Amino acid sequence: MAKRYLILGLGKSGLSAALYLRHQKAELVLADTREKIDGLELLKENFPKAGIFLGNLSLSLLNGVDVLVISPGLSPEHPLVKEARRRCLEIIGDVELFCQRASSPIIAITGTNAKSTVVTLIAKMISDAGYSVGLGGNIGTPALELLDETNVEPDFYVLELSSFQLESTPSLKAKVSAVLNVTPDHMDRYDSFEDYVSTKQRIYHNCDVALFNRDDENTRPGKQVAKVVSFGTEKSDDTEKLPYSLEHTLTATYLLRGNEHILCADELRISGEHNYLNCLAAMAVCDVIGIPGETQIKSLQEFSGLAHRCETVADIAGVRWINDSKGTNVGASLAALNGFGKTFSQKIILILGGVSKDATFSPLIKLINQYVKKVLVYGQDSAKIIADLTKGVNCPVDAFESLEHVVNAARSAAEDKDLVLFSPACASFDMFDNFEHRGDVFKNLVLGRATSSSHRMEGV
């Protein structure tokens, strides 16, 4: 008898799960906590036999259900999820369904920041070496859409996984798993930072090789992992095979595999120490799966980075403008500041603002005092940002009503050889659809192009 599935959350991942399970002849119930969703009529046409429920959902939806498939963004404390646990129902996500089906080697990457850059670079190296690769998960394509109905699989899968996805993916058995970094984020979801770290580390369960960041003890795997590889800013004294590191000389920075100089950072199109570490992580993964070194170097030299991730917008009148709208948490902004600070010491104008997600901004104080000449703040939680910073920073912190006002203020304050770093350290949904929308608005404002600055009024 076919299992009956309740799919809770009809965003991209939920719809991919519905399509996949329909192909498996499963009995489906579809639900979403939103009262209105886009494409409802099309959904009814595609799933004529499935009940579709929206808004205030009754616990009776679980009656007769064998498996609850939850969206990554849905809180595990939602009444339906809590009731499913009480009834001892199986609770999984779309990535779990993927792992139960996929047979090609999986490369699984998580971390508070840098996930998208690293998985994109790994996928490029694999493709450049002549192998087929499926890239998805938390980046762009839902994992289930990587599965071919003809059962023809790529040579490798590369998955970016969020902590939310790892909560509901017990069957992950990756060829290589990596935790790139862990800094406080989503503290409105987790009971503690330790709980968040523990969730991230679930990616190491049953993996063949674990890759961690020596600069961040929260990424170090437990003793249950058979083989470990690491990367970091300094050379390792451990007996690990081929630790990856950086070497700084008076004139250049080099990427190292063990004691071997692989290439000079000046040969890269991306800049900043944080990006050099991303390159090391990608190299380490690709060495494990057998991608030739010469291919890796060529891929590194060609890679220009991703939009909204420490992206150079323009150099105008001697001032460099950087769009790091993907910096949706304090850890991301710390990495960006540290990465650019050595080049632009005391010449950075930093823009922060948005929705804090209950984060504290005091960890930024040390690097602000070291590298920043002025902080500009906007958005829903601007008062919190100012309260966290003003007692510790030694530069001006000014608040503005909108991103447009902030950009105008930055333009007035910037001088020759300054850098304006838009790394908000906050979520975007107070004023924008998402971080991409926010970044596009920033770029248009910098370049003087017409833009629709926001879709929401502040505070709504």
Catalytic site residues?
Answer: 115, 138, 186
Whether 8 and 81 have beta carbons less than 8 Å apart is answered as yes
Angle of helix 435-447 relative to helix 403-413, nearest 10 degrees?
40
Task: Find the farthest-apart pair of alpha carbons in the chain and give their distance in angstroms, rounded.
Answer: 71
Beta partners for residue 110, in sequence order:
179
**Which helix (H) or strand (E) is 177 found in, with range?**
strand 176-179
Sheet holding 4-8, edge to edge: 51-54, 27-32, 4-8, 67-70, 90-92
Alpha-carbon Rg for the chain, nearest whole angstrom, is 23
What would the two tokens of residue 291 be? 């991608």
How far is the C-alpha of 375 from the C-alpha of 401, rounded, in Å?
14
3-class secondary structure, 154: coil
Which residue from 49, 34, 165 is spatially nearest to 98, judged by alpha carbons?
165
DSSP 8-state symbol, 251:
S
How far is the C-alpha of 232 from the C-alpha of 277, rounded, in Å?
7
With the CA atoms of 75, 80, 82 and 84 taken in that order, what torsion angle do they form, in degrees rounded to the nearest 10?
-130
Q: Is 88 exposed, middle or buried, given 0-12, 13-18 or 19+ CB atoms closer than 10 A?
A: exposed
